[in-house]
Each structure stands twice: as structure tokens, then as C-alpha cells.
Amino acid sequence: MKKALTQLHVAVFLAGFTAILGKLIGLNEGLLVWYRLLITVLTLALILFFKKQLQRIALKDFLQISGVGIIVAAHWVTFYGSVKYATVSVALVCFSAAGFFTAFFDPLIFKRRINIAEVLLGLLAIVGIYIIFDFHPQYKVGIIFGILSAVGSSLFPIFNKRLLARFSPQTLTLYELGGGFLALSLLVPFYLQQFPAAYFLPTNWDWVWLFVLAWLCTVVCFDLQLNALKKISPFTANLTYNLEPVYGIVLAFIFFRENKLLNWHFYIGVGLILLAVVLQMWRLWYNQKAHTSPIKQAFFKR
């Protein structure tokens, strides 16, 4: 159990580190994601091939899986766009709004009742983002990108639920990212017309950070998560994933001294978002505990 928790925290830390790498890589966000997908897909395909775990799927299934892959690619492009047009901290704060969108999309797609508690907690996070937006107008484009990224982040696991029941996580990841890569290859020329790139080929340091991003923060991170989830509950995993923006913001303060670029309004906004995260963690813990008491559970979920 201790080893599994360590693996999970390392995976979440690596996920938080991706924003730092997005700032270090000088490529336009569209090209950055294109290269990340290229390296990751080739690496995963080779690993699965040599492990004899490469599974063929029908064209119909590939098209369905690719739809989710397009959402992943769009999420990454907008996330790194937020990093580049604002700051790492602002991008991660906006990313925290994913819970708000999940509270709406999940019940709408699966035709369940909207959970009022989740909506209210999501609104608290949105208020925090608004405070940051209102007092940092220079980050307008980055914040818009960040909110779009949060939308993509909320949709991805919802659509993945049904697919995970039919395919192994490794197979699903390979074909999702492969589909995302193909779609982005078609769309990136149009994207670059709207958001021109200073250059198209990575520099030497860009290549270094791209391989760190693809290998360490994608392939290794994914493997650590899978191994950890074999030993710990999804509940514990969900609580731990909430630390990703916290790790990323702390790293941004250390690497880029972003704390000197932001005023006290930012910290008020972050405080509200962290409050929403803490309340959601407490709520999940309470509901988990209430499984032994149907009366308590019914009362708290109203």
C-alpha cells in the first residue's frame, strides 16, 4: 500500500510538472502538442509491440476512440496555450475549474440528476477564477484558453468510462492519442494561421524537454498510475489527483518566481479554489464513510 501511494504521488507530481515543461519549451502550443503526441504514440506502440500486447481494433471502434483522443489533444493545446499566454499558475488555477464543468456534463450525458453540492463547489472555483481574471486583464487570452482546457479535461473521463469497460487502458491510451495525433496533424496548419509560430522545428533544448514530457510525464506517469490503482481505491486516487495544481503552482514559484508577478487578488482567487477542492475532498470522504449508514448518505446528498 505504501509503495502504491508513493507511485501515485510521483505520478501526480509529474502531471503537475507538465505545465513547467510547457513554459520551458519554446514551440507554439499547437506544435508542442503535435510533437508530444508523436513521441508518445511511437513509444507506446513500440512498448506494446515488444510486450506482445498490441491489440488490433475495428475501424468503427478506432473512430469512436479517436473522438475522445481529439478531446485530449484539444485539452492539451488549450492548456499549453494558457501557460504561454498567461502563466503556469494561472493555467493551473483555470484547470481547477474542471470540477464545475464535470458537475454539469456528467449528469447530462448519463441522464442523472445534477448534484447541487458539486455545482456550488464548482461555482466557488469559478468565482476564484473571475477574481483573478478581473484583476489580471493582461492574461485574458490565457484565461480563456485555461477555461477551455478545463472543459476538455472534464469531458475526457466522462466519455472514457464506457470505453474502459471494453478495452485495456494501454490499448485505449494508444489509440486515443493516435487518433488525437492524426486529427491535430490535419488541423494544426489552420491553427497556426490564427496563432502563428515563431519557428517550427524544436531547438536542441526543446527536444530534451519534449522527450522528458513524452517519456517521463506521459508514458512513465501513466504506468505509475496503473500500478498504483491496482492497490489503492479510486476514492483515494481522486483525492490525490486534486494535488496536481498545487504541485504545479509551487514548482512555478520555484522555477519561474511567478509569485513576484502576481498580486494579492491572485491569492484570494486561489484561496477560493483551494477551499472548493478541500470541501470536495471532505465531501467525498464523508460520503465514503456514510456508505455504512444509508440515512446519513441520503441526507448529505440532497
Tens digits of residue pLDDT in 104-144 = 788 888 778 877 877 787 788 778 877 776 666 788 899 89
Residues 6+ apart with CB under 8 A from 146: 78, 79, 82, 86, 90, 91, 93, 94, 95, 97, 129
Q: Average the pLDDT over each of 55-59, 129-133, 207-211 and give the range with the smallest value.
A: 129-133
Give the model's pLDDT for residue 299: 33
Residues 53/145, Cβ–Cβ less than 8 Å: no
Confidence bin at 235 (pLDDT 50/70/90):
low
The dihedral region occupied by 111, where left means phi > 0, alpha psi between -120 and 50, and beta the remainder, is: left
* pLDDT at 79 exceeding the cut of 70: yes
161 or 167, greater pLDDT: 167
> What is the mean pLDDT of the segment spanning 147-168?
86
Closest Cα partner for 214 from 7, 42, 92? 42
> What is the mean pLDDT of the segment spanning 50-75?
93
Residue 194 neighbours by CB distance under 10 Å: 7
Q: Could you write out the DSSP letters of every residue in 131-154?
A: HHHHH-GGGHHHHHHHHHHHHHHH
Residues 227/272, Cβ–Cβ less than 8 Å: no
SS3 at position 294 = helix
Most confidently modeled of 7-21, 224-238, 244-258?
7-21
21 or 132, greater pLDDT: 21
Give the model's pLDDT for residue 206: 98
225 or 33, greater pLDDT: 33
Question: What is the pTM assigned to this prediction?
Answer: 0.85
The pLDDT mean for the chain works out to 84
Give the model's pLDDT for residue 302: 38
- Scanning the chain, the segments in alpha helix (DSSP H) are 2-24, 29-50, 59-85, 88-95, 98-110, 116-135, 140-164, 169-194, 204-211, 221-229, 234-241, 244-256, 264-289, 294-300
Query: What are the phi and psi torsion angles at 219 (to 5°)?
Result: -70, -55
Give the model's pLDDT for residue 69: 95
Residues 213/25, Cβ–Cβ less than 8 Å: yes
Residues 118/102, Cβ–Cβ less than 8 Å: yes
Residues 6+ apart with CB under 8 A from 110: 158
